[in-house]
Amino acid sequence: MKAVLLIDFGSTYTKITAVDVEEERILGTAQSFTTIETDILDGLNNALAILKEQIGEVEFSERYACSSAAGGLRMVAIGLVPDLTAKAARQASLGAGAKVIKTYSYELTEGDRKEIDQIHPDICLLTGGTDGGNKENIVYNARMLAETQQDFPIIIAGNRSCADQCQEILKDKQTYICENVMPQLNIPNVEPVQKKIREIFLEQIVKAKGLSHAQDLIQGILMPTPSAMLTAMKLLAKGTPKEAGMDDLVCVDLGGATTDVYSMSFGLPSTGMVVLRGLREEYAKRTVEGDIGMRYSIHGIVEATDMMRVSELSGLSEERCRELIDYLGVHTDVVPGADDGELEALDYALASLAIEVAVTRHAGRLEQFYSPMGISYLQTGKDLTGVKTVVVTGGAIIHTKRTAQIAAHALFDPVDAFSLKPKNADIYVDRRYILAAMGLLSTQYPETALRIMKKELVKE
């Protein structure tokens, strides 16, 4: 047996997964409250004690970790036009596993500068202009950032013609010049920026968030947790030269505060009557719905839909739904018990609507217009209608018998005929919450991680 320990230092829980890479199987999983305020190792040791009760004494030959503790990797993205460079900057940040606190477009105002100081991001991404295009905007914004009081790394990834000028303006800040996130109109180039974000995370953010205490115990904090998830999904979809993947897929991670959606698909128009509008999106896409969550963002679900739909799906009166939602918004640690039918019904409704909203926002849309050839369509975002696999995870999905019914809300609904959500997809559930761990494992054992995922994911 060759045992490997995979650790996820989360904001609330430290989750661990033990794997035997020789037999390609999960030995056990455990979790404990994260102790970032005291010593990160306390929570880890508590989880290890729980794991030991399950599988006994195990000697781990390797240990790897990811982290979203202490708020995760918090970023601010700045671009020129909302639908172009600003969107490319946001796309690059999210794809690197960051939590994008705010995206700014056009020229920063004095109020924006003060807001960035208040946010105090871990990293700021400064973009703007295609190569050889607009210079004025990014140079102006560099001058505004030079006046910020807080100290944070700044990645300059805009018009290459003025990158050196921006770095000179920001000479009192810690800066990194990177390739333009959009060197040509509508053609994103996010991988170089994502690589740089991960490098800064490893070099600085781990230390700043107190995670370096764990470095002696493990080989290293390899990446932010969302990046580990994205890595796992990319592997599951594309496979390796030695092991086939599952092709294009969508994954939904439903949490207490946010709902993350991942899609592995180019999502280009599927018919000749559809024209792609705006920025072409990356094959591996991640979005974060910060207003949609099962507890901390529970009111956001209602605001994105309405109380009547919550009532219809749960079978409870609107008044009772409102009472329970207000209660859960304060008592965020409450979960339905075995005999708590009302809470179980409410959680079913909330989880269903959270997934419905999150995937609808993530997927592309069609807009009808008339051309000399008749009715045609403009596509914004990805066409995911042909995706055949939807993977779901998260506490509200794992700990329920109605997983398939909840997950079905990720699929196309004729009521919203212009949404490009998957039409006929199989549902798989990550019941043991191993996906981030498999993203970590794949950095060293890709075929093993892929085969474990294919065995562990349960088809509903």
Q: What is the DSSP string of 235-276?
A: HHHHB-SSSB---SEEEEEE-SS-EEEEEES----SSTTEEE
Question: Half-sphere exposure of 407 toward its Cβ, with a 13 Å CA cutoff?
Answer: 27
What sign does the dihedral 446-450-451-456 (CA atoms) show? positive
Residue 235: pLDDT over 90: yes
What CA–CA distances, in Å, run from 208 to 6, 13, 59, 72, 100? 22, 19, 30, 11, 18
Mean pLDDT score, 329-344: 83
Mean pLDDT along residues 97-104:
87
Q: Is 370 exposed, middle or buried (0-12, 13-18, 19+ CB in 10 A)?
A: exposed
Q: Residue length, the chain? A: 460
- Residue 296's pLDDT is 84
Continuous H helices in 315-445: 318-330, 341-362, 395-398, 403-407, 435-441
**What is the pLDDT averaged over residues 255-275?**
88
Inform me whether the pLDDT recorded for 215 exceeds 70: no
Question: Is the pLDDT confidence value at 164 over 90?
Answer: yes
Q: Determine the average pLDDT of the residues in 53-63.
A: 91
Torsion of CA 356, 361, 366, 367, to 10 degrees: 110
- Residue 247's CB is within 10 A of a number of other CB atoms, namely 15
Residue 326: CB atoms within 10 A of its CB come to 12
Position 36 confidence tier, pLDDT thresholds 50, 70, 90: low
Helix 341-362 crosses helix 307-314 at what angle (to 10 degrees)? 130
Residue 220: pLDDT above 80?
A: no
pLDDT band, residue 207 (cuts 50/70/90): low
- C-alpha pair distances (Å), 216 with each of 39, 109, 267, 459: 13, 44, 43, 39
**% of the chain beyond a pLDDT of 70:** 93
- pLDDT at residue 211 in the model: 63
Q: Residue 222 pLDDT more than 90?
A: no
Contact 130, 184 (CB under 8 A): yes
> Tell me, what's the pLDDT at 365?
92
Q: How far apart are CA 5 and CA 16, in angstroms?
A: 7
pLDDT of residue 35: 67
Mean pLDDT of 263-271: 91
308 by Cβ neighbours in 10 Å (0-12 / 13-18 / 19+) ranks as exposed
Task: Give Cβ neighbours of residue 8 (< 8 Å, ≥ 6 apart).
Answer: 14, 15, 16, 65, 66, 67, 68, 225, 228, 436, 437
Q: In this model, does residue 322 exceed pLDDT 90?
A: yes
Residue 347 confidence (pLDDT): 92
Q: Please give the share of the chain, as a percent, with pLDDT higher than 90.
A: 58
pLDDT at 217: 61
pLDDT tops 60 at residue 208: no
Give residue 219's pLDDT.
Answer: 63
In this predicted structure, the answer to whether residue 54 has a pLDDT above a threshold of 60 is yes
Mean pLDDT of 211-222: 63
pLDDT at 261: 94
Would you say residue 300 has pLDDT above 60?
yes
Q: What is the pLDDT of residue 214?
A: 60
184 strand-pairing partners: 187
What global pTM score does this model have? Answer: 0.86
CATH number of 3-70+209-219: 3.30.420.40
Rounded mean pLDDT, 265-285? 86
What is the distance of C-alpha 418 from the center of its chain? 25
**Topology of domain 74-204, per CATH?**
Rossmann fold (3.40.50)
Query: Poorest-confidence range of 172-176, 286-290, 362-366, 404-408?
Result: 286-290
Handedness of CA 338, 35, 260, 119 (dihedral sign): positive
Query: What per-residue confidence (pLDDT) applies to 308?
Result: 93
Per-residue pLDDT band for 82 (boundaries 50, 70, 90) equals confident
Strand arrangement of the beta sheet that strand 60-67 belongs to: 25-33, 13-20, 3-9, 60-67, 221-224
Count of C-beta atoms within a 10 Å radius of residue 424: 10
Q: Over the Cα atoms of the chain, what is R_g?
A: 22
What tokens does 212 get?
């370096």
Domains of the chain, by residue range, sit at 3-70+209-219, 74-204, 238-307+349-459
Q: Are 348 and 400 in contact (CB under 8 A)?
A: yes
Q: Is the pLDDT of residue 257 over 90?
A: no
The mean pLDDT value for 322-337 works out to 87
Tell me the pLDDT band of 238, cut-offs 50, 70 and 90. very high
CB 150 within 8 A of CB 120: yes
Overall average pLDDT of the 86-101 stretch:
85
Higher pLDDT, 217 or 64: 64
pLDDT at 116: 95
Task: Count the Cβ atoms, other than its own, within 10 Å of residue 348.
Answer: 20
For the chain, the average pLDDT equals 88
Determine how β-strand 60-67 pairs with β-strand 3-9.
parallel
- Could you tell me the pLDDT band of residue 31, with boundaries at 50, 70 and 90? confident
Return the pLDDT at 84. 81
Most confident region among 287-291, 296-300, 426-430 by mean pLDDT: 426-430
